[in-house]
Structure 1
Amino acid sequence: VDNNLQPLLAAALRESLELAGLILESMLIASNFGLCATVNNQTVVKAPDWVYIPSVKPIASGEIRRSYTPHLQGEIPTIVLEFISETEGGEYSINPHYPYGKWYFYEQILQVPVYGIFQPKTGELEIYRLNQGKYEQQKPDENNRYWIAEINLFLGVWQGTKAEFTTNWLRWWDKSGNLLLWGSERVAQTEYQLEQERMLRQKLAEKLRELGVEPETL
């Protein structure tokens, strides 16, 4: 973890998925978590800032999953995300030799379908999709979001405040363009709806009194 914002970015991505009921027990969604592969009898480990794996083999009750080896322990990750801090940390490295660059590892060794690189400071998000064994940079839609078909959601950048940080965040939108809310936003939305209902009842009561009817008698 390069800074205290990165865990918050990762947690925020997971939170909205969880609250929307889009996380299943068979999935693995993690941050700064070791993805492993054996290449030429050498173990290679990279720990992306955020990873989404649609299906993994269960582990024994009480056990803690400390790393993950695709194929051996379940499916290939659908998407990996790297958050760039002040200094570029090898996110674009195509080093084909041990210990291998991140880009090379995700593209050539694991063959992850979607690779994203996000710069919170500038709000730049680059999404690459595997096409015939090579990553191709994708173009965003008219809302500057990227459709991640494997998850059936859009991924894009949202500027605002969460956990006392005002910065650029990665957010999910559904196919209809609705933002998947965080817990605090859901609470605020509920409070707003309750206040609107209270005001409506108050106006109705005032109207009834103007007509000489006491609302309490109804």
Structure 2
Amino acid sequence: MVLEAPSIKAKPTVTWEPLPANFVLPDDPVENIQQPSLAAGLTDALGAAGLIQSEMLISSNLGLVATINKNIVVKAPDWFYVPQVHPLAEGVIRRSYTPHTDGANVAIVMEFLSEAEGGELSVRATPPYGKLHFYEQILQVPTYVTYDPYEGILEVRYLQDERYVLHSANEQGRVWIPQLELYLGIWSGERLGQTMNWLRWWDDRGNLLLWSSEQAEQERQRAEQESQRADQERQRAERLAAKLRELGVDPD
């Protein structure tokens, strides 16, 4: 009897090639109205806090490109962050991002849960590759976030020893995102007329990073309070002047 050694699956050959100009990118629609709103809110708060620099890339539904065994594979996360990218020539529009070629590796990827094939928690290691497998084994993204806005379930995975490990939340239900030095958590409320369970940022002191609309409202309220204080001071001065006149004293 001949014993056969168990087959060892060869690791795929991954290269980082620029996307060909004639490559047709998938034009899949978003799966629900919440996805672009969630992504926009995350980016808006970072911008309002002055945390977005020109060398960064923060985007939604932009294709991340890898060439696996000479086949181009593109995944478009709901939100991702790259700390430093190469600048584009004037007039050139970025239509995709290839890590290690267009700049640094992707540092954070977020996916908002769906039930599609090759979904957010799929470890399928053959085409069409599952997203978790693609981000973990191919792109090796350090932090992978999945979020179900309907169930209010937030999961954050760190890449450790080439595998994703689920990271626990703190007492407030927030999870530390080391690449941004911020906490990520769930906040229920309204933004731009839409009420739902949002993903929000908090700093290391527990302060909520405000959206630009919230900052504008704060400024409006502050200006209104200052105007009220000015009116109160003016009225107080007028009453004092009137009292002095009653006493025969010229307030001027």
Question: What TM-score does the superposition give when structure 2 sets the normalisation length?
Answer: 0.80
Aligned twin of 1:150: 179
**Deviation readout 1:87-141 (Å, 9 max, x if unpaired):** 3551110001122110000001110000000111122111011111111111111
Amino acid at match of 1:185: E
State the partner residue of 2:94.
Answer: 65
Match of 2:132, SS? Answer: helix
d(CA) in 2 for partners of 1:88, 1:180: 32
Q: 1:140/1:207 Cα in 2 relative to 1: closer, same or farther (>3 Å)?
A: same
| Alignment partner, residue 28 of structure 1 | 57
1:48-73: CA deviation from partner (whole Å, max 9, x where unpaired): 00010111111111111111111111
Aligned mate of 1:188, from 199, 206, 217: 217
Runs in 1 of length 4+ with deviation above 4 angstroms?
none
Count of residues paired in the alignment: 215
Q: CA RMSD in A?
A: 1.8
- 1:60-139 mapped onto 2 (5 Å cutoff): 60-85=89-114, 87=115, 90-139=119-168
Q: Which runs of 5+ in 1 are unaligned?
A: none
The answer to whether 1:55 aligns with 2:84 is yes
Deviations 1:154-204 (A, max 9, x none): 111111111211001111112222211112111110111122222323333
1:84 CA displacement: 1.6
Q: What is the CA–CA distance in structure 1 between the aligned matches of 2:57 and 2:221, rounded to whole Å?
A: 34
1:67 corresponds to which letter in structure 2?
S
Q: In the alignment, what sits opposite 1:140?
A: 169
For residues 46 and 182 of structure 2, what CA distance do their matches in structure 1 show?
10
Q: Does 1:163 align with 2:189?
A: no
Letter in 1 for 2:203: D
Q: State the TM-score, normalizing by the size of structure 1.
A: 0.92
- 1:76 to partner: Cα distance: 1.1
Q: Distance in 1 between matches of 2:132 and 2:94?
A: 24
Q: What amino acid is the match of 1:30?
A: S
Indicate whether 1:204 and 2:233 are aligned: yes
Q: CA deviation at 1:213?
A: 5.9
Q: Which residue in 2 is equivalent to 1:45?
A: 74
Look up the SS of the partner of 1:203 in the other structure. helix
| Uncovered stretches (5+) of structure 2, i.e. residues with no partner | 1-29, 244-250
**Which moves more between the two structures, 179-188 or 198-207?**
198-207
Q: Aligned match of 1:19 in 48, 59, 64? A: 48
Alpha-carbon shift at residue 14 of structure 1 (Å): 0.7
Measure the CA separation in 2 of the matches of 1:95 and 1:127: 20
